[in-house]
Amino acid sequence: MNQIARNQPDLSIDPSLARRILTGFIKSELNRMGFSKAVIGLSGGLDSAVSCFLAAEALGAENVLAVRMPYKTSSQDSLDHAQLVIDQLGVQSLTIPISGMADALIEQFPDMNSMRKGNIMARTRMIVLYDQSATFQGLVIGTSNKTEILLGYSTIYGDSACAINPIGDLYKTQIRQLAKALLVPIAIQEKAPSADLWAGQTDEGELGFTYAEVDRLLYLLVDERYSAEDCVEAGFPRQFVDQVLEKIRRSQFKRVMPPIAKVSNRTVGYDFLYLRDWGT
Amino acid sequence: MKITLAISQINTRLGDPQVNLEKHLEYIKKARNSGADLIQFPELSLTGYVLQDLVPGVAMRPNASDPIFKHLLNASQEIDIVAGFVDEDQRSRFYISSAYLSRGEVVHVHHKVYLPTYGLFDEGRFFAWGDSIRAFPTRFGRVGMLICEDFWHASPPYLLWLDGADLLLFSSASPGRGLTTSPQLASARWVEHINQAYASLFTTFVSHVNRVGFEDGLHFWGGSTVFDPDGVLLAQAAYEEETLLLAELDLGQIHRTRARLPLLRDERTVLVSRELNRIAGKEE
């Protein structure tokens, strides 16, 4: 029997081990690609704060450029919280409002819904970050966590775009533990996660469940390979389990490179296999 | 007899044997200057680990006419060397391999028998399986070499023990995985447990060298260990850091341990062989 005990799963981590591995990863992978500097979009939320703390520790604060990119509807809290990170770490920083860029497109479609607007904002920020990457000579550090990667709660080629991602194998619950150990400002640790695309938006409100709940379920399904039935038997509502599995399945396209139609003997993506670290 | 073993816990450059050779020669020189008798390098130390389609381009033949091996053979005049590489046989099959070099000669080559092809591993796609597990004589007694997944299976260390190896030299490029509340990754803890278990069960020296560094998102954790025939940890390298670890092995410990604990004497090899044949379906 695949009995899941009541207290399972335990998503606790040793934050100092995670910190050592992730800072080593940032330093090694940037250096192997010929870089020593990093660019990070700082939203004022927990994930980008943690990425920024790790990058500053790995590379030195002077080698990290934190970019704040407010849209006109972004909350003042977001800007202020991002500034707390910048001040605490002493990283370099820029504030580049995106309203002009984003609205140039948005205003052409008066009936545009908030999902389209949100995607445009996310992709506009990607353009700004990659432009800063070129001038600062630093690589863009990812800020997506394992929960949102698995659920597909991101904009493809938007907030998911990056050169390397140090935190993408940690669930939100685990990012919180790491944030505490890194001494991320308390205001950021304690606030509700939000994409901040409109006033009052929260991730958990939009998703319909809490990170604490979904992280336990994802851990059982993905990391521990329990079946949906096992999770239902362990007390997760059937509808919740099905909803999460469907989100994972439907967002697979966000986690892979676009497939190339194979016609030759050797095709990129299928049988042309090299790591990025090839030759380094 | 006491010997000094040098464990070369290094990072490698992926697909660049020439650069990796230079690091080997540098560590060999350091080890020699420290009075080491034998230096051990990790799995695929001359090439890097996740080679994929780079395999045919970095394959070599361990002999004096090979541009990489000629330098290592030359260096082996003064210190015995175990290095990891891709061996290409006469019929162009590629093997994950370890070579034992001594006094200018290739003493033994081991081809990795167990190629993990599951989870994050894809070795079976790119490499041929080795087909023998043999101990071999060295100036320090009989030695056995295994590569990573080889010693995740119980039978290869057991066979080397029965074949006379009193010094087991294990090498890995082990990607870390399993983050929990423990200060060690689950994979690191597992490897340390089994190395200690082999030393204890076989009353033999077990030295394990693991590499460090990253290849894309994979992180190699280091933490190389040397256990004595009592299962006592003689030396351990730091996690994640490139280092040259020295351990003094008092080979007399084999005598003392086996006087107390004659597990080797009492091992029922013929019984094991008979039962294995039965289990394999060759006899009733």
Give per-residue pLDDT as tens, A164-221. 999 999 999 999 999 999 999 999 999 999 988 788 889 888 888 999 999 999 999 9
Instruction: Give the pLDDT of residue A206.
Output: 86
Whether A24 and B217 lie within 8 Å, measured CB to CB: no
Q: What is the ipTM of this complex?
A: 0.92
Displacement of CA A50 from its chain's centroid (Å): 10
Which of A171, A223, A255, A277 is best to mutate for the B interface (most B CBs within 10 A)? A277
Alpha-helical regions (H) of A137-223? 146-151, 172-182, 186-190, 203-207, 211-218
Predicted confidence (pLDDT) per residue in A54-98, tens digit: 999 999 999 999 999 999 999 999 999 999 999 999 999 999 999
Whether B214 and A272 lie within 8 Å, measured CB to CB: no
Instruction: Give the pLDDT of residue B42.
Output: 98
Taking contacts as CB-CB distances below 8 angstroms, the residues of chain A near B52 are 273-275
User: How is domain B2-279 classified at the architecture level of CATH?
Assistant: 4-Layer Sandwich (3.60)
Instruction: Give Cβ neighbours of residue B149 (< 8 Å, ≥ 6 apart).
Output: B112, B114, B115, B116, B121, B123
**Taking Cα atoms as reference points, which of B197, B171, B187, B164 lies closest to residue B264?**
B164
CA of A48 vs chain B CAs: smallest distance (Å): 19
* Extended beta strands in A92-173, E state: 92-95, 139-140
Predicted confidence (pLDDT) per residue in B105-159, tens digit: 999 999 999 999 999 999 999 999 999 999 999 999 999 999 999 999 999 999 9
Q: Is B16 on the interface with A (CB under 8 A)?
A: yes
> How far apart are the C-alpha atoms of A134 and A40, rounded to whole Å?
13
Predicted confidence (pLDDT) per residue in A145-162, tens digit: 999 999 999 999 999 999
Q: Is B242 on the interface with A (CB under 8 A)?
A: no
Give the residue-averaged pLDDT of B85-113.
98
Q: Name the DSSP class of A264.
A: S
Give the residue-averaged pLDDT of B219-246.
98
Whether B53 and A272 lie within 8 Å, measured CB to CB: yes
Judge whether B166 and B141 are in contact, CB under 8 Å.
Answer: yes
Taking contacts as CB-CB distances below 8 angstroms, the residues of chain B near A21 are 176, 179, 219, 240
Whether B214 and A32 lie within 8 Å, measured CB to CB: yes
Predicted confidence (pLDDT) per residue in B256-275, tens digit: 999 999 999 999 999 999 99
Helix, strand, or coil (residue B174): coil
Whether A276 and B216 lie within 8 Å, measured CB to CB: yes
pTM, two decimal places: 0.94
Instruction: Give the pLDDT of residue B212.
Output: 98
At residue A273, what are phi and psi to the nearest 5 degrees?
A: -110, 110
pLDDT of B284 over the 60 cut: no
Share of chain B above pLDDT 90, in %: 99
Taking contacts as CB-CB distances below 8 angstroms, the residues of chain B near A33 are none
Looking up tokens 């073993």 gives B5
Domains defined along chain A, listed by start? 15-255 (3.40.50.620)
Give A5's pLDDT tier (boundaries 50, 70, 90): low
**Taking Cα atoms as reference points, which of B210, B206, B223, B229 lies closest to residue B157?**
B206
- Count the Cβ atoms, other than its own, within 10 Å of residue A233: 14
> How far apart are the C-alpha atoms of B130 and B20, rounded to whole Å?
24
Mean residue pLDDT across chain A = 95
Give the residue-averaged pLDDT of B55-79.
97
Break chain B into its structural domains and give their ranges: 2-279
pLDDT of A7 over the 80 cut: no
Q: Is B215 on the interface with A (CB under 8 A)?
A: yes
Residues belonging to chain A with any Cβ–Cβ distance to chain B shorter than 8 Å: 10, 12-14, 16-18, 20-21, 24-25, 28-29, 32, 169, 174, 271-280
Whether B179 and A13 lie within 8 Å, measured CB to CB: yes
Whether B181 and A18 lie within 8 Å, measured CB to CB: no
Judge whether B226 and B198 are in contact, CB under 8 Å.
Answer: no
pLDDT of B32 over the 80 cut: yes
How many CB pairs (< 8 A) connect A and B?
Answer: 65
Whether B216 and A16 lie within 8 Å, measured CB to CB: no
Judge whether A231 and A218 are in contact, CB under 8 Å.
Answer: no
Instruction: Give the pLDDT of residue A1.
Output: 43
Predicted confidence (pLDDT) per residue in B149-204, tens digit: 999 999 999 999 999 999 999 999 999 999 999 999 999 999 999 999 999 999 99
Instruction: Give the pLDDT of residue B269.
Output: 96
Predicted confidence (pLDDT) per residue in A19-29, tens digit: 999 999 999 99
At residue B153, what are phi and psi to the nearest 5 degrees?
A: -95, 140
pLDDT of B37 over the 50 cut: yes
Taking contacts as CB-CB distances below 8 angstroms, the residues of chain B near A278 are 14-15, 54
